[in-house]
Amino acid sequence: MIYVYTNRESGTNSYLLGSPSSDAAIMIDPGSFDGAVLRCIEDNGRHVSHILVTRPRAFHIDGIRTIKRIYDAQIIAPCRSLLSYDCTLIGDNQSLELDGFEVKTIAMPDHTRDSVVYVVDGMLFAGEVMSAGLVDVSASPYGRALLIETIRKTILTLPPDTVIFSSFGPPSTVGVERALSPDCLLAPPAAPP
Amino acid sequence: MLLRRCRVPQCLNSAFFRQDACLQHSADAGAARTAAVDYLLSEARITELSFDGLRLSALTLSDKTFEQCSFRHCVLEQCDLSRAVVNLCFFDHAGLDTVSFAGSDIRRTVFGMAHIIDCDFSDSELCECNFNGITCGNSRFSDCDLHSSRFIGASLDHVSFRNCNLHEVHFGNAIPVECDFRYSNLEDAHHHIPGRRLR
């Protein structure tokens, strides 16, 4: 089970993943937490066991205080603490086993130093790094070029049916991102003749 | 998408409808196809199933609910999905020919790289849908709420977007030919298309 909800104020997406092997659920980037999400968790007989954070920014974490008041959830993030809660610090290329989910991390230092994306059972939670044909606007053209190169090497090499869930906008797949026309920034460079 | 993988090692496909393998590796692909079509016709609510690679011809699937289903690389021709509720489904790389989604509620669904010909999406909610890279001809999106959907890199030939809500819709690098945007709030969309104008 995956449940997607959007924060009406910031327009950012958060995700709730129900474990296939237990009654636990994982929340990804909970920028908000309201009664509808709580009902979704409780009506399905689940509890939040882990919170994954792609980047410690307000619109990814503002729901954490509420969640922590209700559930004893472990926070996994690219930093040691968030909102005065201790976090499990993660970096690049780490593998975690969370409630039946295999989670792999990919650091995105060309986005920001404290940015990671998570690959969870054929789904990529990309945070604000990329979103259905768009790449996050970096500070400079050079930074943007580096980020695109990193995305090509690390994300576009995942299996084509990997679903990409982002903080903004609709979902996508690696296959669609790879196949976009050469006008689009993410298309791989043409092979030399 | 928590769809099971094909049992064959190294195969990257999802296991086809209630099977342990994809269509390509199914022991009896014909029976699997028939069972899948029968299920689609009989059930009102279809959730978390893969129909990847299936060919659906002249089926009436109107008023059904599809949740977290995959129709990747499917071919749908002369199918009626009007008034369907579609949430978080995947039609990427599919071929849709003369399909009606009129009056549907379609959210967070991926049609990326699909070929869409003579299709009718009119009078639908199409929020946060991904139409990136589609090839679309002679189709109607009239009277739709397309809020936050994307048509990046799409080829749009004789497509009607008349009287649509285009708030936060992205048309970057799209190639529109004879498309109708009358009565739509194109000023609220992102449409940086060098050398071309949307009318």
Structural domains of chain B, with CATH: 50-188 (2.160.20)
Tell me the fold of A2-179.
Metallo-beta-lactamase; Chain A (3.60.15)
Q: Is the pLDDT of residue B197 over 80?
A: no
Tens-digit pLDDT profile for residues B90-145: 999 999 999 999 999 999 999 999 999 999 999 999 999 999 999 999 999 999 99
Q: What's the confidence (pLDDT) of residue B9?
A: 87
Provide the pLDDT for residue B125.
96
> Is the model's pLDDT at B165 over the cut of 50?
yes
User: What's residue B199's pLDDT?
Assistant: 40
Taking CA atoms, what residue in A is nearest to B153?
Answer: A181
* pLDDT value at residue B71: 96
Max Cα separation, chain A?
60
How far apart CA A67 and CA A37 sit, in angstroms, is: 10
- Cα distances (Å, whole numbers) of residue A155 to A118, A147, A181, B61, B112: 10, 11, 18, 35, 17
Cβ contacts of A186 on chain B, cutoff 8 Å:
none
pLDDT of residue B194: 44
Domain ranges of chain A: 2-179
CA-based max dimension of chain B: 53
User: Are the C-beta atoms of A122 and A163 separated by less than 8 Å?
Assistant: yes
Q: Is A170 in contact with B108 (Cβ distance < 8 A)?
A: yes
Q: In a structure prediction context, what are the per-residue pLDDT tens digits for chain A, which is 193 residues long? A: 888 988 877 888 999 999 888 999 999 999 989 898 999 999 989 999 999 999 988 888 999 999 999 999 999 999 888 898 999 999 888 999 998 899 999 988 777 778 899 999 889 999 988 889 888 766 577 877 888 888 888 899 898 889 999 998 999 999 999 888 655 666 555 555 5
A181–B133 C-beta distance less than 8 A: yes
Distance (Å, whole) CA A107 – CA A127: 12
Please list the helix, strand and coil fractions of chain B in percent, rounded to the nearest 5, in that order.
10, 30, 60
Give residue-wise pLDDT tens across range B8-58: 988 888 899 989 999 989 989 999 999 999 999 999 999 999 999 999 999
Q: Is B76 helix (H, G, I), strand (E, B) or coil?
A: strand
Residues ≥6 apart with Cβ < 8 Å to A155? A106, A117, A124, A126, A129, A130, A164, A174, A177
ipTM of this predicted structure: 0.91
Kindly list the residues from chain B whose CB atom is less than 8 angstroms away from the CB atom of residue A180. Answer: 113, 132-133, 152-153
pLDDT for the residue numbered B196: 44
Predicted local distance difference test score (pLDDT) of residue B198: 45
Pick from B2, B172, B173: CB nearest A1:
B2
